[in-house]
Structures are given as C-alpha cells and as structure tokens.
Chains A and B, each alone.
Chain A
C-alpha cells in the first residue's frame, strides 16, 4: 500500500485502533498505574537532592525533568516487538500479510492510535506541573515547540523501529522476547528514563553519545524543559534524525529478509 493510500485509510485505522485500546476498562486502569516509573525516580532523586543539588539538578529541576520524562515516554511508547513476537508464534501475522497494508505501517498506526488515550493521563500531569512550577519551563516560542514535536516524533520512530527490528529477529531465532528484555535494560539506562544522561560519568556519557537511546527520551525532554540552546538543539536533532534514517533502512531490509522465513504456523 502506498503511503498516500495508507494516509487515506488512516482515520479508520486510528479509530478502530483507539476503539480496540479502550475495549478493556480495567486493563486501562492497570496500564495507567504501570507508567509511573518517572514519579518513583522523582521521589528517590528528590530525597537525595534535598541536601544538595545532584550535578546541575536541584529539586525543582529534577521535578521538571521527570515530569517531562513521563510526558515524552507516553508520547513515544511502542510495543511492536512484543506484538510481532506474539503474532509470529501464533501464526496470526498471516492476517496482516494478506492485507494490502505493509505490516510496518499497520503496526505503526496501531501504536500511534494509543496516543490519544495516553493524553488522558498526560494532560492532568501537565496541568498539575504548570500549577506547581508555573509555565516558564515550557518552550517559549513556536520554533521551540516545533523542535520538540520533531524530537518527539524522532524519538517515537527510533523506539518503534528498534521494536520492529527486534520483532523481525523472532523470525530468525523463534522468539526475540529476551532480546527485547536486553534492549529494555539498555533503554532504561541510556535513554534518560531513569537517570538524567548528563549525570553519567565520563566514559558512560561517551558511550551513550554513540547509542540511539538518548534520542528516544533525553533529547525531547531536554527540548521540552528548555535545557539546550538553539544551536545544540539543531545539532542534536540532526543526529537524532540520522539515527531515524539509519534505523529505517536497517529495519526495512531486516524485515524483508526475515519475512521470507515466516512459517505461518498453526492452521
């Protein structure tokens, strides 16, 4: 399916994806509770920072950092790796392959369709943060908001494409759920989700510079909290989108090769 045709079909795909996401109300509530890691980290770091700042972060900055982390994580989440693994093992990937929508586009739309649902918990957090900290921490111009939108989109694309790449591996190694576990460990360490990346010691910071994870969370967070100047934002966005392009090519090739190994098990 061409991208233009996919866009034409996308309102229905989004609507159906959203309807599917809200079908189970109890599960929705449990899921909301499972997204609170940044608040746990905020409580821990704040307790430590009560005595003295940690690096450049005092209690207020830590509060803003982890609130922004929560927001960015909600906007950039993806679970495609888990979904592909499940569908390959169950043979239900066949249904997707029979439709004239490329599965990579199909999974993307389903993942994106959950974002409006996530906004239900993001908006009260933003309102609460503005009430408590004021609005001064937010981007102050349309250009800065555009930069944040680009960084959030880039962050989502990196997350999503890594997920698809890991999912594709399940066609080679039967299940890549453990690879997903390894990825999540690296993500939690290097993305800035649990620790601000500028608190890393020198060698770890250098390593993090060369990995894509910091562009998933840390960069959008830094732009949202106005932690970078314009020049640094532009430089970092270029690097982030270079990762996006690289991952897009790698993932597409990997998927095309992997899908030849699909066994369409079970029925």
Chain B
C-alpha cells in the first residue's frame, strides 16, 4: 500500500519551548478509515491544520501524496473543518458552483443528489438554514469530491443521534474507494465499528497506532474503553 500521508519529526510550538505537536512521525496508507483520537489539547487540530497548510510546522516535514502542503496537495485533500466556512449570503447552488469551479475532482451531480435526498432547497441562502443543515451541506460538498485523502475534523460533534447516523452513513458511502479518511473525534463509540486504524495523540505525542482488532486483542477492551483508560483524568 502506498502512503498518502507522511509526517517526519513534525513539531509545532506556538510559544518557544511549548510544543503542541512534538516530534511526530507518522505514515498513513491509502484505502483506510482512520480515527485520530485524543483529548482536548492533544494536538489533533494543530496536526490537521499543518497537513492542510493552514499552519507552518516549527520543524519537521509533512508530505501528502508526495507533495508538501500547497496548491498541489490541496487538489488531493478534501477537508472538513469544525467551523462553518461558507458565505452566509450564498445559496446552496452558488456553493456547489464554487466547488465545481475550483476542484477538478468535485462531482456536482452527486452533491445535488445528496442535497435533494435531504430535501434541502438548492435556492435557499445558507443564512436561512439551521446550523445542523449547514453542517450537512458542508459535509456533502466535502464528500462529493473524489479526493485521495479526506480529513474530517469533529464531523459528528454537537449533532443529534439521527444526524450523527446520517453523517457516518455519508462518510462511509461516499468516500472515494482507495482513498484514506482521517476522522478526528471524541465520540469514539459512534465510529469505532467503521474504523480500520486508530491513532492516539497525547500532549502532542503519538502514543498508540494500530487497528481496533489489535487494541481489543492486546488490552481486552473496546477502543472507546481503552481511550477512557489512557486519557483518564
């Protein structure tokens, strides 16, 4: 399997001497659904920002499909941040047009189909939609790309259980086969059964990397339970 993401001795300090991500070396292979897990302040979002080129590492390197973060790597990464990043004045249709213009791998028909299945009016402005609906629209846009790496930052946080099921179904059913999905979340029990691999981060360090089956065999408990033990307060 070819690696889609390679991080080598990656470090990020916002203040000198206080690394948020510390000397992280990690290689993720293609065709996997991977959970990026860790408590608040463990460096998950900082790592994701560095992969997307939204932050510059203090030291170390990161390669996505062989590219350093930049316009080339952004062509292969489909990123869902935990923020709503769409212009409130735009209509759903405007935003589909925007994605279609900029991302060569974007499938507008798939996006429209998913929007219609949720009975969202394409002519509606985003400011008229509820927070949950806006999040779904954003997820649909991200999952309508035939990307090589999907990075989803807290996709199921703050939504009701029914919406959570919809989001998980959308992720599993729409990601490009052969691509890698990196899901950053706290809600492990909800996604444990779809994960091929898990990465545990603690204080910016990699503390565990393996498959859920390996964790169950080694520690005799679920990933969720093991997470609670490792990160017990």
A and B associate in one complex: no
Residues of B participating in the A interface, judged by any CB pair closer than 8 Å = none
